[in-house]
Structure 1
Amino acid sequence: MDKRQSLLKSVALARHQFIQAASGLTYEQSQFKPTPDVWSVVDNVEHMVWAEMGGINGIWKTLDGIRNKKPIWTGEAIHHGLPIEKIIEKTWKEKEQVPEIAKPRWGGSVDYWIEALANCQNMLEALCDEMDGYDLEQIIYPHIISGPLNVVQRLEFLRFHLNRHQRQIENLKSLPDFPLAR
C-alpha cells in the first residue's frame, strides 16, 4: 500500500469513528449545549464539513495550479518532515479560535451534516486519484492556522481533526446533564 492509500485509510477510519460517535442521537441530544460557548454535536459535525470542504478544495486548487504552472503557494516549507501533531503543537494556542469559514452557521439536522461529512470521503478519494504521479510533499496548501502543509500533512490533519472533534462529542455525551434517549 502506498503512502497515499495508507493516509486515506487512516482518514476513512477516523471519519467512520467520528460518524459513529455523532450518530443515533435524538434531536435533543444532537442539539445539547451545556453552556452557550460549547458546541453541540450538530455544531461539531457541521464544523467538520466546512473545514474539510475548504481543505479539499484548497488542495485541488493547488494541484490545478501545479498542473498549469500557476502555483497557489510558493515559499519555504517550514514544516517539512514534521508530523501533524508536532506542527499543531508548534502553531496552535491551547484554545484555538475557529476560522470564520469553518464556523457552524446553518444548524439543522445532524443527519444532514453526517451525510455531507460521509461524502467528503468520496471527494477526498477522487482528489487522491488525481494526485497519482505527483510528489505529495510538493503539493502545499497553507492551513489558516498552521501555515504551509503538504498533502501528507493535510491528510494527517484530517485524521487528527476528526479524532479531536470525536473526543469533543464523546465528552458532551458523558456529561451528567446530557439528555437521555427516549
Structure 2
Amino acid sequence: MKKMFLLASSILMLSFLVSDNTISKKERNYASKLLKDTEKGVFEQVKGLTEAQLTFKPAPDRWSVEECVKHIAASEEMMWQMVDGTLKQPANPEKKTEIKFTDEQLVQKIEDRSNKVKTVEKLQPENIPLKNTEEALDAFKKNREKLIDYVKSTNEDLRAHIATMPFGSADSYQLLLFIGAHSNRHTQQIMEVKADPNFPK
C-alpha cells in the first residue's frame, strides 16, 4: 500500500513538473479563440462573392480579394514552418528579456493596417501557386485546423523558444498569435477592397 502511495505521488509530482513547461489553459484558450475567430472572419468576408468581385482591383498596385486570400493561405503555411523551425532549435529562455511586447500588444501591432509593410517576394500573390480563391481557402482551412489542434494539444515549452523577427523578438507562443493576427490584418484589407466605390455590385 505504501509503495502504491509513493508511486501515485511520484506520478502526480511528475505531471506538475511537465505541466509547468507547457502553456496555461488561459493561453491555450486565448490562442485558440484568436485562430478560430480570424479564420471565421476570412470566410465571412469572401462568402457569396462573384468572380468579378473576387478579382476586382481598386488600383493596379493594390490587391484583389482573391490575391489577399492567396497571400493569407501561403503565409499560413510559411509562418507555421517558421514556428516549427524555432521549436526545433535549442530552447533559449535567456533571451526572454529581449521580448518587448505583451501578447495583446503583439496582436494589436500586427492587426494595425496604418503601419504598411511590403511582403517578401515569395508571398506576393503573383508568386503563389494557388489557382483561385477556392483552392486558397481550402489550403487555409486545412492548415488553420491543424494549427488549432496543435495549440489545444501541444506540450512544447513555447515560451522558452525565442526568435528574432523584423519587428523584434517573440517567443513561439507569440508567433502562433502572429499567424492569427496576420490573417485578420488581410481580412481588413479585403474589407477595404469591398468598400471601394467601384467594387462590382
What TM-score do the two structures reach when normalised by structure 1?
Answer: 0.79
Pick closer, same or farther for the CA change 1:7–1:129 going to 2, 3 Å: closer
SS in 2 for 1:175: coil
SS in 1 for 2:169: strand
Q: Which residue of 2 aligns with 1:117?
A: 140
Between the aligned partners of 1:160 and 1:149, the Cα distance in structure 2 is 14
Consecutive unaligned residues of structure 1, counting only runs of 5 or more, are: none
The one-letter code matched in structure 2 to 1:5 is N
Among all aligned residue pairs of Structure 1 and Structure 2, give the percentage whose two residues are the same amino acid: 25
Q: Which residue of 1 aligns with 2:99?
A: 79
SS in 1 for 2:72: helix
Q: Which residue of 2 aligns with 1:156?
A: 177
Say which structure is richer in helix.
2
Q: Is the 8 A contact 1:87 1:146 kept in 2?
A: no
TM-fit CA distance, 1:42: 1.0
Consecutive unaligned residues of structure 2, counting only runs of 5 or more, are: 1-24
Q: CA RMSD in A?
A: 2.7
Pick closer, same or farther for the CA change 1:174–1:93 going to 2, 3 Å: closer
Q: Which residue of 1 aligns with 2:197?
A: 176
What TM-score do the two structures reach when normalised by structure 2?
Answer: 0.72
Q: Which residue of 1 aligns with 2:82?
A: 58
Pick closer, same or farther for the CA change 1:86–1:168 going to 2, 3 Å: closer
Q: Is the 8 A contact 1:50 1:103 kept in 2?
A: no
Q: Which residue of 2 aligns with 1:31?
A: 55
- The partner residue of 2:188 within 163, 167, 171 is 167
Between the aligned partners of 1:158 and 1:149, the Cα distance in structure 2 is 13
Pick closer, same or farther for the CA change 1:142–1:51 going to 2, 3 Å: farther
SS in 2 for 1:2: helix
Pick closer, same or farther for the CA change 1:129–1:167 going to 2, 3 Å: closer
Rg: which structure is higher? 2
Between the aligned partners of 1:173 and 1:86, the Cα distance in structure 2 is 23
